[in-house]
């Protein structure tokens, strides 16, 4: 009997070792089929535009096509959850930001995943942000906006601000502005930036604080909306005529920017993560991509090691959770 037990243990151990080696070998051969880039917003927005500039050079670097898949809703959490529901094999990569992975779980009680469930492979870009207002909005400057917000709040008709969903970074910025100004403002959430812009164009919502690029600049030129102020400490190259919030009195300290990165499930095999990381680093060196991101108003990310990318993400988790706490964000 002992010999049978030893034989069983030896056989089982051998099978497990064989399966492990097979898994490692499979991971090291990654990728052998197309890789999906999960974009958690509808087509046509800034996130989608970034993905459609990245996917071609990334596919070339991987040796397999990189396919863009748009799935909006739930402040980006629906797309994020789809990645978590997929196998941990690297064939579904999430393109996102603190919006979807850190803030959405803090704001939406139905979301059960945690930011730590994801691992950042590499940041791709940093985006400047601006306060855009509807065409008929009476304020022309940040200080006039503050005065208008106080006036309508006193009249019982609070100023409205759009976001891409409850708990999104844009929601937090609007809530923070409301707190900084000491006046009530009403949050109006949308599924994506394109939907928010549509209602801004038709005077259905007052302001939309969002990243921007040439598409938004063109909409401003067409008179569909106005750029009131940028949230960077200095004026920006795409809209040099638009002042920074730091030039105002009421919103002098109201600044922000947001990054876009690529994430996988944290338990994705290390050889797969390394392959994706190397491909993204190669992609960041593509001159057409860099020119395209630059034209969109995006600042291309410097190269990061895997450790640096992961540490940066962990730092963002702490920072954004602190912002959410400061405005008393409650899950709904």
Same domain? For 171 and 59 the reply is no
Same domain? For 59 and 102 the reply is yes
Same domain? For 263 and 201 the reply is no
Same domain? For 85 and 133 the reply is no
Same domain? For 156 and 99 the reply is no
Provide the pLDDT for residue 16.
42
Range(s) of the domain holding residue 236: 129-257
CATH number at residue 216: 3.40.190.10
Same domain? For 157 and 249 the reply is yes
The span from the CA of 222 to the CA of 239, in Å, is 14
**195 falls within a domain:** yes
CB atoms < 10 A from the CB of 93, how many? 22
Same domain? For 46 and 107 the reply is yes
Determine if the pTM surpasses 0.75.
no
Task: Copy the structure tokens of residue 153.
Answer: 């709040």
Same domain? For 235 and 264 the reply is no
Same domain? For 250 and 134 the reply is yes
Last residue of a domain, one of 198, 232, 257: 257
Q: Which is it for strands 66-70 and 185-189: parallel, antiparallel or unpaired?
A: unpaired
**17 falls within a domain:** no
**202 falls within a domain:** yes
**21 falls within a domain:** no
Provide the pLDDT for residue 7.
54
**192 falls within a domain:** yes
Last residue of a domain, one of 257, 273, 307: 257
**62 falls within a domain:** yes
Q: Please check whether residue 167 is in contact with residue 241, taking contact to mean a CB–CB distance below 8 angstroms.
A: no
pLDDT tens digits in sequence order for the chain, 332 residues long: 555 545 544 554 454 444 344 444 446 689 999 999 999 998 988 889 999 999 999 999 999 999 999 999 888 899 999 999 999 999 999 999 888 999 889 888 899 899 999 999 999 998 889 999 999 999 999 999 999 999 999 999 999 999 988 778 888 899 989 999 999 999 999 988 889 999 999 999 999 999 888 888 999 999 999 999 999 899 988 899 999 999 999 999 999 888 899 999 999 999 999 999 999 999 999 999 999 998 887 888 999 999 999 999 999 899 888 878 877 888 77
CATH number at residue 39: 3.40.190.150
Same domain? For 133 and 253 the reply is yes
The span from the CA of 52 to the CA of 48, in Å, is 6
Q: Please check whether residue 168 is in contact with residue 161, taking contact to mean a CB–CB distance below 8 angstroms.
A: no
**11 falls within a domain:** no
44 dihedral zone (left: phi>0; alpha: psi -120 to 50; beta): left
Q: Please check whether residue 279 is in contact with residue 58, taking contact to mean a CB–CB distance below 8 angstroms.
A: yes
Same domain? For 115 and 200 the reply is no
**20 falls within a domain:** no
- DSSP bridge partners of 66: 35
Last residue of a domain, one of 214, 229, 257: 257
Same domain? For 35 and 69 the reply is yes
The span from the CA of 138 to the CA of 46, in Å, is 27
Provide the pLDDT for residue 17.
43
Q: How many domains are there within the chain?
A: 2
């Amino acid at each position: 009997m002992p010999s049978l037990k030893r034989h069983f243990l030896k056989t089982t151990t051998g099978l497990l070792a064989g399966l492990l080696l097979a898994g490692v070998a499979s991971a090291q051969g990654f990728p052998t089929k197309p890789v999906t880039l999960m974009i958690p917003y509808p087509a046509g927005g800034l996130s989608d535009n970034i993905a459609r500039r990245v996917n071609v050079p990334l596919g070339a670097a991987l040796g397999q096509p990189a396919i863009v898949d748009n799935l909006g809703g739930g402040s980006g959490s629906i797309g994020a959850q789809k990645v978590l529901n997929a196998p941990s094999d690297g064939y579904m990569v999430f393109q996102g930001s603190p919006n979807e992975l850190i803030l959405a779980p803090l704001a939406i009680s139905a979301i059960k995943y945690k930011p730590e469930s994801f691992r950042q492979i590499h940041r791709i870009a940093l985006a400047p942000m601006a306060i855009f207002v509807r065409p008929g909005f009476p304020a022309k400057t940040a200080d006039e906006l503050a005065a208008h917000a106080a006036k309508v709040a006193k009249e019982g008709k609070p100023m409205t601000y759009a976001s891409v969903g409850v708990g999104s970074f844009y929601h937090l910025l609007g809530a923070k502005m409301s707190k900084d100004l000491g006046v009530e403002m009403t949050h109006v959430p949308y599924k994506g930036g394109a939907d928010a812009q549509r209602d801004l164009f038709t005077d259905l919502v007052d302001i939309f604080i969002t990243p921007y690029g040439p598409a938004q600049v063109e909409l401003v030129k067409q008179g569909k909306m106005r750029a009131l102020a940028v949230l960077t400490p200095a004026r920006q190259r795409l809209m040099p005529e638009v002042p920074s919030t730091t030039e105002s009195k009421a919103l002098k300290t109201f600044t922000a920017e947001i990054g876009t990165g690529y994430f996988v499930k944290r338990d994705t095999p290390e050889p797969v993560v390394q392959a994706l990381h190397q491909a993204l680093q190669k992609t960041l060196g593509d001159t057409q991509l860099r020119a395209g991101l630059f034209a969109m108003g995006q600042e291309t990310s410097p190269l990061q090691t895997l450790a640096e990318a992961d540490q940066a993400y962990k730092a963002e988790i702490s920072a954004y959770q602190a912002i959410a706490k400061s405005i008393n964000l409650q899950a709904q």
